[in-house]
Chains A and B, each alone.
Chain A
Amino acid sequence: FDLLVASDCIYNPTYHEALL
């Protein structure tokens, strides 16, 4: 994915790293 969107408290940095 080029872009991940999470509007609020759902943001999770672990996922961010895993999916990029």
Chain B
Amino acid sequence: HPTISSHAWTDDSGSIAVTYHLALTAPGHGDTLWNSSSCIAEHLLRPHLRDRMFGPRAKEAGGVTRWPPRRALEFGAGAALPSMILLREGAGTVVMTDRITNEETFEALEMSSEKNCRRWDISEEERERRAVVRAHTWGEDAEKLLEAGG
């Protein structure tokens, strides 16, 4: 693809590989992998890091009480490493969003979802059900995201 780059990410243990794509024309550093994205992906993979990330009060505050989550939503996904890890972990529905700048941003998300699901033996039928890509810019009505999450 002329304006979408392909990359490989590997977790700290070196055992889990994720392919991610970036739209080279995305503004606002959307064309780079953010450290926080990699850091969250790593934290989602390890139970002790998950506990630390969600905090001791997560449960009483109505936060994550089950793993994998039934429905997850990533804002400003970009490379969408956390969403890819959530698909691998078995989250029911993963909604990936990014703001509307160009079509490539969403193509890149679909490409990542396709490649990684194939690698993890998630059928195309299952992927279409579980991995949802939606455009979302701050301030827009969130109703469509709630619908996308089922």
Chain A residues near B (Cβ < 8 Å) = 1-8, 10-12, 15, 18-20
Contacts and interface: CB of A to CB of B under 8 A. Distances in A.
B4 interface: no
Interface of B: 34, 36-37, 40, 62, 64-66, 69-76, 78, 82-83, 86, 91, 95, 138, 142, 145-146, 149
Contacts, number: 62
Contacts of A3: 64, 69, 71-73, 86, 91
A12 B75 CA distance: 10
A2 B34 contact: no
A-B pairs, top 6 by smallest CB distance, nearest first, are A2-B69, A10-B76, A3-B69, A5-B74, A3-B72, A7-B36
Contact of A2 (B64, B75, B78, B83): B64
B76 A2 contact: no
A2 B146 CA distance: 12
Contact of B72 (A1, A7, A11, A15): A1
A2 B40 contact: no
A11 B74 CA distance: 10
A2 B142 contact: no
Contacts of B78: 7
A18 B142 contact: yes
Contacts of A18: 142
Nearest to B96: A5
Given A1-B71, A4-B73, A5-B72, 5 more contacts: A2-B66, A2-B72, A3-B71, A6-B76, A7-B36
